[in-house]
């Protein structure tokens, strides 16, 4: 029977995908607002025969660690961090997208934009524009942006019923099929701070070494099982 080889191969396939996820975590350990990811594994049972049952490993999904990363002080008035659940809203050609990366700046039209130049939206669905000639930008805990001339808008900070269902679309942006909801009242905006990635480098390197060892162990099983089958076939051939 080749079932042990198939089981070991299924394990190797999931380990390779797990290694990709870990590598992505390591690559983004310095990315603002990035959330550590983990593979979710489940058991998949196959019945190749009437009285047979073979258990395989199946990678079901990628799960994000939604805990808040360390907040680093920058002193930049347009660097914003969220303490608690929630996402900033930015405008794209494909509609609103959501992000935890609050490294904002002003473009040549004095609109508040993210690092990719996408306008940051207010709670009225419009881009936030800083009046010409103003320099004193203040952001309150509820997301209200003001200058020496008064309030100019309030950031649209939202959350979703199931954040794990949000899809990452690159550049720290997410999209969801669920309807956005107002962020909880205990979610606050911190000015002059950025939320660092919540990736723990030592844990990721340890996990990478563990995955590599598990992969090698599965390969040894495949090699051993292949040798056992080869030997059995040779002995059967000599007995005929």
CA–CA distance, 98 with 79 (Å, rounded to integer): 16
Query: What integer pLDDT is reported at residue 51 of this predicted model?
Result: 58
pLDDT at 6: 77
Domain parsing of the chain, residue ranges:
3-66+199-239, 71-195
Look at residue 231 in the predicted model and tell me its pLDDT.
Answer: 81
- Can you give the pLDDT at residue 52? 63
- In the chain, the N- to C-terminal Cα span, in Å, equals 20
Q: In this structure, are residues 156 and 121 in contact, taking their beta carbons and an 8 Å threshold?
A: yes
Tens-place pLDDT, residues 90-140: 999 999 999 999 999 999 999 999 999 999 999 999 999 999 999 999 999
Provide the 3-class DSSP secondary structure of residue 107.
coil
pLDDT profile of the chain (240 residues), mean per 10: 73 89 95 92 64 66 92 96 96 96 96 97 96 95 96 97 93 95 95 96 94 90 81 74
Tally of CA atoms within 13 A in the half-sphere of 121 that contains its CB:
18
pLDDT of residue 240: 59
Q: Is residue 60 a contact partner of residue 42, using CB atoms and an 8 Å limit? A: yes
- pTM for this model (two decimals): 0.83
């Amino acid at each position: 029977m080749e079932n042990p080889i198939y089981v070991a191969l299924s394990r190797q396939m999931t380990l390779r995908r797990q290694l990709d996820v870990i590598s992505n975590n390591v690559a983004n350990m310095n990315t603002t607002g990035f959330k550590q990811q983990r593979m979710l594994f489940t058991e998949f049972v196959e019945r190749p025969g009437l009285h047979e049952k073979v258990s395989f490993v199946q990678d079901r999904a990628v799960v994000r660690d939604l805990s808040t990363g360390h907040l680093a002080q920058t002193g930049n008035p347009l660097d914003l961090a969220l303490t608690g659940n929630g996402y900033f809203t930015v405008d794209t050609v494909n509609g609103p997208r959501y992000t935890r990366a609050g490294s904002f700046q002003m473009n040549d039209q004095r609109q508040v934009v993210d690092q990719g130049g996408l306008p940051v939206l207010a709670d009225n669905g419009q881009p936030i524009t800083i009046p010409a000639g103003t320099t004193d930008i203040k952001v309150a805990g509820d997301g209200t942006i003001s200058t020496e001339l008064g309030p100019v808008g309030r950031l649209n900070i939202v959350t979703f019923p199931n954040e794990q269902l949000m899809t990452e679309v690159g550049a720290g942006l997410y999209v969801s099929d669920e309807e956005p909801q107002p962020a909880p009242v205990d979610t606050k905006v911190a000015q002059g701070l950025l939320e660092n990635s919540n990736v723990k480098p030592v844990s990721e390197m340890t996990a990478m070494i563990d995955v590599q060892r598990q992969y090698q162990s599965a390969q040894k099983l495949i090699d051993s099982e292949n040798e056992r089958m080869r030997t059995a076939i040779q002995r059967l051939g000599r007995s005929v």
